[in-house]
Structure 1
Amino acid sequence: MEIRFQPYRKSGTWVVYWKSPWTGAHHHRGFYTQEEAENFVKGLSDIYNKEKEIIRRRKRYTNTKILLSDLVERYFSVAVTNMTTLKQNRYHITHIVKMFGNRQAIKITMDDILYFIEVQRLRGLRQTTINIRVSILRTILNWGVRFGLLPHNPLLSFRLPQARPQRIVPPTPDELQRIYAVSPDHIQRIILLGTYLGPRIGPSELFKLRWSDVDLKNGIIHMPNAAKGATDSARVIPIRSGLIPILSKLFNSDKILNISFVIHWKGNSVRSIHRAWTSALKRAGIERRITPYCLRHAYATYSVQGGAKLRPLAKLMGHKNERMILQTYQHVLEKDERDTIEAMPDVLRLFPKRRRPQTRKSAPIPPYLFQNTVKSLTFFA
């Protein structure tokens, strides 16, 4: 830093010149007295020294040699508390740890991730699943940086390939009725609420729902929001009028047993329904893959087909906007868009009306041909 006296300046004749140690950029600032300039230099020097000490201390505690496998284990032992999320994330990250677990986490490169993506594609995995696995890795690296285990995230600027939205075929009304008819009580409740309200089927939303969240008098449900960027802890979903008597009956039966959860198994809260759902599909004679989450897709699909507006539908499903619905249910919207275009009247009268083609009347058979035909038939007879 340097202080210069420049009497030709109209204001701030005492000028401080300095260079930023972080960016290398040159700066200057004028002051009216030498004392002000010196105090500024002293304060700026103290700030830079403190910043350097913080960085020096951070580097001292940063373990640049930590292996990726060790970093993953530390992350799961501290940062993840939900058992379902822990199980799913461990399953996905295992495939990356098998390839790069013995390598230092800080030395994972973008080329390594591109190689991993290519291998996963060759094994037949969808891009959506691959992106989930790479995203978990990037989350773990960010966590390592935040808690001083890594100096920086080597994949911070990596951009995942865009995945095409998967077009999910929801269960048909006939399939839903067959599954419902052979299911136990808690699966029937999931089918009812999943099909007619569209929540996320699992511990993040539907399995957290309590009877205290259900307002049968006003016909609304305060559905818990999943931790996916929602600002509110719950969203309000109106109850379909035909569903209110059914829920009232279920509420009265649970109230006698002092059961607080809407979805429960013998009074206990539910975490997973894989076994019960699979058994119900077998009893219903359904061989194709239908998951409980498909109930949410059934709600969206049939609502769109029924003419529901996208913005209110996205709000009821817990989406920030209608983009997810447009991407996931494009195959449903295509027919509606075509019908909308064709419904536009021909105001300019540019297109001729379609006329039914007229069939040409066949000429009558001459009498002599008819007589010859009769003679031929008589001969072969």
Structure 2
Amino acid sequence: MTPASALIDRWRDHLAIERRRSAHTVRAYTTTAQRLCAFVMAHRGEAVTAAHIAALTPGDLRAYLAARRGDGLSNASAARELSAVRGFLRFVGGEDAVVPLVKGPRVSKGVPRPVTPDEAVALADDLAESATDAWTGARDWAVLMLLYGAGLRIGEALSLTGSVMPLGDSLRVTGKRGKTRIVPLLATVREGIEAYVALCPYDLVGNAPLFRGQRGGPLSPAIIRRAVQAARTRLGLCDRATPHALRHSFATHLLAGGADLRSLQELLGHASLTSTQVYTAVDAAHLLDVYRSAHPRAE
């Protein structure tokens, strides 16, 4: 086994066992590490070691990203790739890791659009990998996936208590004006919450807050907002990539996938259908943008 192969195997185990990341994330991050090592080996002409990876410069990372963009990688996918690379470099360097500062590709501004699925996952992954320890990383990942994967407001996610455990296929949420609703839980979201609960050093039972701060108190929305702001800067995402934008993206992507407005109204907890209808305009703007960019006869 080569030094690079052994390093990648340790990275895979770290993600799956210590970080308790989903199988999809483990597979994607492992593949990125393999591509990075292959790239470094091709440029150095020798077997890659941990020392080679730890010594990578901003120029090296820019060259790698340029090569990946040459393979047809989109801006959003390149942002997620960079997040995975940063996590790998932090793992290799350990406590002494110095990760090169490289801005990710910026998504062009224009017609307002929802955060893409790749951008949403890239944000969650970057928060998890940038956390000071495994349990807060798992916590931040779970919170962002509740916003994007279940359409919760950040206040709704942080008001959940330990009484929701054990999780099922759905979640009862209390929204504005005390109105409750049932939202389905995707397997990825449920697994993320369960991974956080397993790692959290505090007792998450009864009516105690499910999501805790570093000292055990209720997690503040400001902490998540600041973390997302830092993550989107590292990833080179535009200012629209906010926690609340993830809820908007949940709605817009469901609508684009064929969901009807009444069902969407129930999932979002809107008191009035008028509030939900705004997403028809957002989706129409997105489709028009795609049409203008791709249709051969578009003006």
Which has more helix, going by share of residues?
2
| Greater relative CO, 1 or 2 (CA 8 Å, sep 6+) | 2
* TM-score where L is the length of structure 2: 0.48
* TM-score where L is the length of structure 1: 0.39
Decide which structure has the larger Cα Rg and report it.
Answer: 1
